[in-house]
Amino acid sequence: MVFAVSLVIGLLAAALGSLVGLGGGIILVPLLLILSSFWDAFSWATPQAIVGVSVIVMIFTALSSTLTYMRSGRVDYKSGFIFMAGGVPGAILGSYLNRFVSGDGFSLYFGILVLLVFFMFFVKRKEREVKNLKGIIVTKELDGMTYTYSFRFIAAFALSLFVGLLSGMFGIGGGSFMVPAMILLFGFPAHIAVSTSMFMVFFLSVVSTVMHISLGHVEWNYVWAFIPGAIIGGILGAKVNQMLKGNTVVWILRIMLVLVAVRLIWDGLS
């Protein structure tokens, strides 16, 4: 029974995470927190163990979905590697800080974090003319359209450092902040932001996994049950993403975030 539930959770988290570029951790982590509060079979799921499971599962989620996005030409490799310059050291620091977080505090802080991401998607993006773009300028063709957007290296480094820290500390992959930031701050098209985010999530998850293994946060007896669902879900989410409009992807993300945030904050305060 536990294996079946874990398999479904891995599939659901990976499919939704891959669909909107979050990596799946923002779904898997709260689900395990909720299950651990009322089901003895998941009593092993401490904040540290949950994050350990999440970062390992996200490796498979991100890898399967990224390969799908790469085949359709949606990944912006140049931007992805630049963002990882800050994301990798941030993930290392966040993994270390995770050991100091308690159960109730983890739910509350994670819920507030998710709620902040939700509100970020209501910030109106300012359209910028190509002639006014500054910093690192990227031009990418996708589905017969040409997109041009830009970002400054310092801003990208600072953002990805913060996102990497959140990834290592909360096991969310970093996409929950990276995707809205790429869309709202730097003008990335939604589909390119999601695809590039999953590309980055793969590498951040590998770094975070190494750290959490070294810190003894991984419950190996339970990790394996989540991986098959994560692989299938990652491919499924990426396939569905390619069939949806950018605005549809953003609205799915909004609804998903607010539901998760309210539940976590409630659990953290109760």
Top-confidence range, 94-103, 197-206, 259-268: 197-206
Q: Which DSSP symbol is given to 21?
A: T
Question: Residue 132 has what pLDDT?
Answer: 59
- Predicted model pTM: 0.74
Question: Residue 30 has what pLDDT?
Answer: 76
pLDDT over threshold 70, residue 207: yes
- For 116-135, the pLDDT digits (tens) are 777 766 766 555 555 556 77
- Measured CA to CA, the distance from residue 32 to residue 186 in angstroms comes to 33
Question: Cα angle at 41 between 40 and 45, to 5 degrees?
Answer: 90
For the chain, which residues make up each domain, given as ranges? 2-269
